[in-house]
């Protein structure tokens, strides 16, 4: 995963353009992607797909021709979506278009101007302070023209068509934690799920933030919710049952899960349970309508059960949206831990069922069915027996296995194993 972050890091991504396509071509080497191109001007819910932005070169050169700021050195050096510029101007005029971080004088900020025509450069305060007065050549070789917005999907087929949506954004340039670590974790999570036969179908979405998620929702509204906007309410029976947005997935901070708008969606309960049972340092926060694309999936018209998993959340670490968010800032161990939590959570989600006890009058005799004997020799035999009794007692069609695990205090895996044994013995049914 870390090697993938390093490979993707130099590419100049934005909400549209060839940087996104180059990123998706690399990801396609790891897992097959279905790439979608949506033309400029397409109406997507309350938004319109913008013009496509591409950039070839950009620099600020001093009177001697030396490039004091060079896009070739870092894609962060140019204000995202900058208009083309070719001019010579004094430093006093140029300063109006320069962005720095005075509190971190060695770092370069990440800035954009997606929906307001502008141009500019980002540089370290240290570099700016060293510039003498004088004339400077300014060049931004970019294009802003009708084109397409690009996003991609990968589907891991499951036993049922009901879907779990896993989303990450692909619109940031050279930022390793936000967003490349999320891309890497999503990629390897998809590969891991493909090695088994999951219960749910898992749909992975690689799209630019905000406008990409909105475009995907607009193009999938009927399939997602069972009704087009205005023709049905939230939870109208669509195919997306659960979801998770991955972002800031590789720093060394503790894990943070942000709940869906519902607050008690199944993914919220699963993540709370898995993080709590794991003993990992973590934090669970309530939903707010700001952040990453969970706010689009959780908008009231869709109200999907989609939460967000990160380590240190956006804007809560100094390196956020700066050149200090580089591959050295993210660790293989942290990304591996994020991946492991996702796999643990989806394992619970995949096995969480509601059962009905087929012998509900009194406790059925387990011994003559060989259920106790089948567990002989296990170090957790007593725990497994208790799990069977709990599953039988709460299998009234209204309690899920997660309910059983939480009420009994038993590990979810032990409860699910007990349910499998009872089901095989004909004592409960889904």
Binding site listing for Zn(2+): 172, 178, 321
Cα separation values, 192 from 275, 342, 343, Å: 20, 11, 8
Taking a C-beta distance cutoff of 8 angstroms, is the pair 256, 283 a contact?
yes
**Helix, strand, coil percentages, rounded to 5, for the chain:** 35, 25, 40
Sequence-distant contacts of 6-12: CB under 8 A, at least 24 apart? 6/327, 8/180, 8/183, 8/184, 9/174, 9/176, 9/180, 9/326, 9/327, 10/75, 10/174, 11/75, 11/173, 11/174, 12/55, 12/71, 12/75, 12/78, 12/173, 12/174
Whole-angstrom Cα distance, residue 249 to residue 330? 8
Segments in 43-166 forming alpha helices (H): 91-94, 125-129
Pairing between β-strand 135-145 and β-strand 85-90 as defined by DSSP bridges: antiparallel
Find where tokens 């896009």 sit: 71
């Amino acid at each position: 995963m870390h090697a993938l972050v390093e490979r993707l890091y130099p590419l100049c991504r934005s909400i549209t353009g060839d940087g996104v396509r180059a990123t998706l071509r690399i990801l396609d080497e790891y897992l097959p992607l279905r790439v979608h191109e949506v033309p400029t001007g397409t109406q997507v819910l309350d938004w319109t797909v913008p013009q496509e932005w591409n950039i070839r070169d950009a620099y600020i050169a001093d009177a001697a021709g030396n490039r004091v700021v060079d896009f070739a050195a870092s894609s962060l050096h140019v204000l995202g979506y900058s208009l083309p510029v070719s001019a010579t101007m004094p430093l006093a005029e140029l300063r109006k278009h320069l962005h720095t971080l005075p509190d971190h004088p060695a770092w370069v900020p990440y800035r954009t101007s997606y929906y307001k025509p502008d141009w500019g450069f980002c540089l370290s305060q240290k570099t700016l302070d060293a510039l003498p007065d004088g004339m400077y050549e300014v060049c931004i070789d970019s294009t802003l023209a009708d084109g397409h917005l690009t996003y991609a999907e990968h589907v891991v087929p499951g036993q049922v068509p009901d879907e779990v949506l896993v989303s990450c954004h692909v619109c940031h340039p050279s930022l390793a934690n936000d967003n490349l670590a999320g891309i890497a974790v999503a990629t390897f999570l998809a590969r891991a799920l493909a090695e088994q036969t999951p219960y749910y179908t898992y749909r992975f979405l690689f799209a630019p933030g905000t406008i990409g998620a909105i475009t995907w929702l607009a193009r999938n509204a009927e399939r997602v919710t069972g009704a087009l906007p205005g023709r049905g309410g939230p939870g109208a029976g669509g195919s997306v049952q659960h979801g998770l947005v991955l972002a800031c997935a590789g720093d060394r901070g503790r894990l943070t899960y942000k709940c869906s708008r519902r607050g008690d969606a199944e993914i919220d309960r699963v993540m709370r349970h898995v993080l709590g049972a794991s003993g990992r340092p973590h934090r669970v926060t309530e939903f707010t309508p700001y952040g990453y694309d969970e706010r689009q999936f959780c908008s009231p018209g869709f109200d999907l059960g989609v939460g967000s998993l990160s380590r240190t959340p956006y804007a809560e670490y100094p390196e956020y949206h700066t050149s200090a968010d580089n591959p050295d800032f993210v660790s293989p161990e942290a990304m591996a831990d994020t991946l492991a939590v996702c796999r643990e959570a989806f394992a619970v989600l995949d096995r969480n069922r509601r059962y009905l006890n087929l012998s509900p009058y009194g406790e059925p005799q387990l011994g003559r069915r060989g259920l106790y004997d089948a567990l002989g020799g296990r170090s957790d035999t007593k725990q497994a027996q208790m799990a069977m009794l709990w599953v039988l007692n709460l299998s009234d069609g209204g309690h899920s296995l997660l309910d059983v695990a939480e009420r009994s205090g038993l590990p979810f895996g032990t409860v699910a194993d007990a349910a499998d044994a009872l089901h095989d013995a004909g004592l409960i049914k889904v």
